[in-house]
Amino acid sequence: MNRLALSVSRGIARITESALGPYQTAVIRIGFSATWLLFLLREFPHRQELYGPDGPWSWGLAEQLIANNGAFTVLIWSDSRVWFELVYALAVLSGVLLLLGWRTRATSVLFMAGVLSLQNRSVFMGDGGDNVLHLMCIYLVFTRCAQVWSLDTRRARRASQARARGEWVGDRVGPALWGLLGSALVTATVAGWLFDGDLFVPLLLWTMWLVAAVWWVVGRRARTAQPRILLDVIANVVHNGALLVIMAEACLIYATAGWYKIQGSRWQDGTAVYYPLHLDYFSPWPALADLLSSSGTMVMLVTYGTVLVQVAFPFTLFNRRVKNVLLAAMITEHAVIAVVLGLPFFSLAMIAADAVFLPTRFLRRLGDRATRARARLAARRSRTTLPGPRRAPESAEDAHVGFTA
């Protein structure tokens, strides 16, 4: 009984004292924000046809669909072209800021609002990766995903160093951003736009705005450390719960896909991979697709291997070595899909979801190598080329000419 109580107490302490998986959540933040940002930039010339007023899925059709399913999108508030361009620009900006880890509590919420607004405006635009991004952008709001590899971490470190030197550290950007976002929430609420559909996203927006206010007040006005410790404990519990949900979601995606494949006759006879390789829509490199499908044995091995990896992966989480092998196989598979089938954003989204299972030691080494590479690059740029020695004059006449010139 004492051992059980001790184990429970250790588990509770581990969940409440720290936010687990700081490197994994940072990779998820960087991966999904980069995926969304690259998609928006690539489709920038076609944005009006995808999500704007010029699309086949007109504003009127979107309005009817939103009225039925209650999905959240700010693009339904107005059919103005200027409003669409503003929302698209803010979606790009939030992707950049979340990628850099700047004011992550606010930018993660803006990132979620941008993703949901564009995707719910035109629900038929996507290749499967949009569904993963749709879910993960909500989960990211609940995580403390800027503990490493972010501008927030650098700002916190500099503030701590300044306080150690006895300097006063102020923050004007945070309150200004909080006031700006609060004004937007109040305006949307008073106008009746925010709570016109499903209540989950509007309540989440208001909750995060109020939590930011409470966090700032406690950090500035609390006379003791207990209120801040309590907020840290709550944030750690929420973060760890969201991290568990992300891991469960990734396992569910693979398990569901694998078990559905087992029921298909093409997957059972080992020929399923052959057919998408010969579809014009999924063949950006026909010669490469023909090369991969030229061997019946290779097609059969890839078909059965895909099903085996997807079905078995959730059960390999209890064995670290087997899990890492299958994880490498799945990442390689998605990289091949990105090139051979022309689905880069689907593959990037799935690789970002897989990153939650990457070993911490591997991520630390990767971060250290990136830091050293950046330091070497900065050192090369900072080098100055000194002028070489001047040539000595060969004669007195040359010296006179050089002096008078």
CB atoms within 10 A of CB 31: 21
pLDDT of residue 132: 93
Sorted by sequence, the CB contacts under 8 Å of residue 277 that are 6+ apart come out as: 283, 289, 290, 292, 293, 340, 341
Query: Is pLDDT at 265 greater than 80 in this prediction?
Result: yes
Query: Is pLDDT at 390 greater than 70 in this prediction?
Result: no
Do residues 87 and 120 lie in contact, with contact meaning Cβ atoms separated by under 8 Å? no
Average pLDDT of the chain is: 88
pLDDT tier, 296 (very low <50, low <70, confident <90, very high otherwise): confident
Cα-Cα-Cα-Cα dihedral sign, residues 349, 353, 359, 363: positive
pLDDT of residue 135: 94
pLDDT of residue 344: 92
CA angle 314, 316, 321 (to 5 degrees): 145
CB atoms within 10 A of CB 55: 19
Single-letter code of the amino acid located at 362: F
pLDDT tier, 387 (very low <50, low <70, confident <90, very high otherwise): low
Cα–Cα distance measured from residue 324 to residue 176, given in angstroms and rounded to the nearest whole number: 44
Cα–Cα distance measured from residue 48 to residue 58, given in angstroms and rounded to the nearest whole number: 11
Q: What is the 3-state secondary structure (H, E, C) of the chain?
A: CHHHHHHHHHHHHHHHHCCCCHHHHHHHHHHHHHHHHHHHHHCHHHHHHHCCCCCCCCHHHHHHHHHHHCCCCHHHHCCCHHHHHHHHHHHHHHHHHHHHCCCHHHHHHHHHHHHHHHHHHCCCCCCCHHHHHHHHHHHHHCCCCCCCCCHHHHHHHHHHHHHHCCCCCCCCHHHHHHHHHHHHHHHHHHCCCCCCCCCHHHHHHHHHHHHHHHHHHHHHHCCCCHHHHHHHHHHHHHHHHHHHHHHHHHHHHHHHHHHHHHCCHHHHCCCHHHCHHHCHHHCCCHHHHHHHHCCHHHHHHHHHHHHHHHHHHHHHHHCHHHHHHHHHHHHHHHHHHHHHCCCHHHHHHHHHHHHHHCCHHHHHHHHHHHHHHHHHHHHHHHCCCCCCCCCCCCCHHHHHHHHHC
Query: Is pLDDT at 72 greater than 90 in this prediction?
Result: yes
pLDDT of residue 233: 94
Sorted by sequence, the CB contacts under 8 Å of residue 63 that are 6+ apart come out as: 76
Cα–Cα distance measured from residue 118 to residue 355, given in angstroms and rounded to the nearest whole number: 25
CA distances from 279 to 72, 260, 285, 306, 394 (A): 35, 21, 11, 19, 76
**Global pTM?**
0.90
Which pair of tokens denotes residue 79? Answer: 């059919």
pLDDT digits (tens, 9 = 90+) for 74-98: 999 998 999 999 999 999 999 999 9
pLDDT of residue 151: 95
Query: Is pLDDT at 396 greater than 60 in this prediction?
Result: no
Higher pLDDT, 22 or 12: 22
Report for 7-11, 29-33, 382-386, 390-394: range of highest mean pLDDT: 29-33
Cα–Cα distance measured from residue 376 to residue 368, given in angstroms and rounded to the nearest whole number: 12
pLDDT digits (tens, 9 = 90+) for 235-255: 999 999 999 999 999 999 999
Do residues 33 and 95 lie in contact, with contact meaning Cβ atoms separated by under 8 Å? yes
Higher pLDDT, 318 or 5: 318
pLDDT of residue 345: 92
Query: Is pLDDT at 399 greater than 50 in this prediction?
Result: no
CA distances from 27 to 110, 147, 224, 328 (A): 19, 11, 34, 16
Do residues 115 and 214 lie in contact, with contact meaning Cβ atoms separated by under 8 Å? no
pLDDT of residue 383: 67
pLDDT digits (tens, 9 = 90+) for 183-226: 999 999 999 888 888 899 999 999 999 999 999 999 888 888 88
pLDDT of residue 404: 36
Cα-Cα-Cα-Cα dihedral sign, residues 183, 187, 193, 195: positive
pLDDT digits (tens, 9 = 90+) for 145-197: 999 999 999 999 998 898 888 888 888 899 999 999 999 999 999 998 888 88
Average pLDDT estimate for 39-66: 91
Q: Which of 7-11, 130-134, 224-228 has the lowest mean pLDDT?
A: 7-11
pLDDT of residue 403: 32
Which pair of tokens denotes residue 109? Answer: 């919420």
pLDDT tier, 279 (very low <50, low <70, confident <90, very high otherwise): confident
Which pair of tokens denotes residue 94? Answer: 């939030």
pLDDT tier, 400 (very low <50, low <70, confident <90, very high otherwise): very low
